[in-house]
Amino acid sequence: MGMLEGKKLLVTGVLMDSSIAFHVARLAQEEGAEVVLTSFGRTMKITQAIAKRLPVTPPIVELDVANQEDLDSLADRVREHVDHLDGVLHSIGFAPQGAFNFMEGTWEDASTALQISAYSLKALGVAALPLMAPGGSIVGLTFDAKFAWPVYDWMGVAKAAFEATNRYLARDLGPKGIRCNLVAAGPIRTTAAKSIPGFQHFEEVWDDRAPLGWDVNDPVPAAQACAALLSDWFPATTGEILHVDGGVHAMGQ
């Protein structure tokens, strides 16, 4: 019997088979879960094509986290495929190019990054709540926001807000029996990463700083952590950030 046997999960952010979200969906299916994906707009066709590479091709529902109508109707549309949800993976992030220059970024740049990359965790949690069963789990993906990273700038600020949002969501959903946790992954060469100017800086130094080493082409360790948090193996853990970064978060300079 698989770790996620009988679970029904909503997975966002499947864009390429190199993405952490893709491997969460794959592992979830292999461990016995039923998976529903989300996508929207021009990326829908990409998600539809990539979804066929999963062990079972899952249904895909439209979800733009900046569109309140999408959020308000999400539960009803997901209910067409599953009768409830045991878990949700938040793998959503976006910032305009201007947000990657801290001093010159505009409020429009910053506010877009904050809405899509931080507030959306709360928005998705609320949207999925009517379907969430007690004992359910919301898991999000972050990039350790304790530091002022080179080139990350307003996206780093958004990730700090994302991590704070997780804590407040854990507080408010805990009484309903729902856990909220994050996985802080090291840099992975994904579609999102390629949109960050200077991302190669992280690639060049991370493996040297990680006591366990680090492979920027391997999203599986982070995906395994997400799958574990979506399972019943962490029943008393919420508001937590689990680092899957080769140990870099614990090292000095």
Active site members: 152, 159
At a CB cut-off of 8 Å and minimum separation 6, what does 185 contact? Answer: 20, 141, 142, 143, 219, 221, 222, 225, 244, 245
**3-class SS at 2?**
coil
| Parallel, antiparallel or unpaired: strands 132-142 and 34-39 | unpaired
Environment class of residue 204 by beta-carbon count within 10 Å: exposed (0-12), middle (13-18) or buried (19+)? exposed
- Residue whose tokens read 């949700």: 88
3-state secondary structure (DSSP) of residue 230: helix
Q: Any residues with CB less than 8 A from the CB of 233 and at least 6 apart, and which?
A: 3
| DSSP assignments along 49-66, one per residue | HHHTTSSS---EEE--TT
DSSP H or E stretch at residue 224 = helix 220-230
Alpha helices for 16-147 (secondary structure H):
20-30, 44-51, 68-78, 107-114, 120-128
Measured CA to CA, the distance from residue 235 to residue 179 in angstroms comes to 8
> How far from chain centre, in Å, is Cα 124?
11
